[in-house]
Structures are given as C-alpha cells and as structure tokens.
C-alpha cells in the first residue's frame, strides 16, 4: 500500500529521527523512495532514480540529518 504524496512534515521528521537512531555518523544523509518502501533507508546515496524529490535538513544537538524522499524508484 503506497502512502499519499507528498509526505507531511511530521513524516519527514519521523524519518529524520529514525535515520539518526540508525547511524552513528555526525552528519547523516538518507534517501527513501516513498511509493516503493519508505521503511528502506539508503544511507549516503550516490545514485538517484528519475523521479520527483523533496528534501529537508535538520539539526539535532551536534548532529545533522539530510532527508531526501523520492516519489518512486
């Protein structure tokens, strides 16, 4: 079941906190494809599908997280 596009700000923040929990890096960059499997996180992505993207950056104490959400893979 796909989730409605675009994701809400709350959904971005939930992904951001989850990415920070799963990584020990100071600066985290994570990509998810929303309509395929938004639970599958790709850390430090270097290849991007041809689709629409939304991005947000957050800071949490001394760490930062860059969340990229692609519509579909």
Q: What is the pLDDT of residue 2?
A: 57
| 59: exposed, middle or buried (Cβ count in 10 Å: 0-12, 13-18, 19+) | exposed
**2 beta partners:** none
Tens-place pLDDT, residues 28-41: 999 999 998 888 99
Contact status, residue 45 vs residue 68, Cβ threshold 8 Å: yes
Task: Please identify which residue in the block is written with the tokens 């494809």.
Answer: 33
Tens-place pLDDT, residues 40-71: 999 999 999 999 999 999 998 899 999 999 99
Q: Hey, where are the domains in the chain? A: 9-70
Q: What is the pLDDT of residue 3?
A: 77
- Mean pLDDT value across residues 16-27: 96
């Amino acid at each position: 079941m796909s989730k409605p596009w675009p994701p809400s700000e709350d959904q971005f923040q939930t992904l951001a906190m989850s990415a920070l929990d799963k990584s020990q890096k100071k600066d985290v960059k994570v990509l998810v494809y929303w309509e395929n499997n938004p639970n599958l996180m790709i850390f430090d992505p270097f290849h991007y599908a041809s689709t629409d993207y939304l991005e947000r950056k957050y800071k949490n104490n001394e760490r930062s997280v860059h969340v990229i959400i692609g519509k579909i893979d």
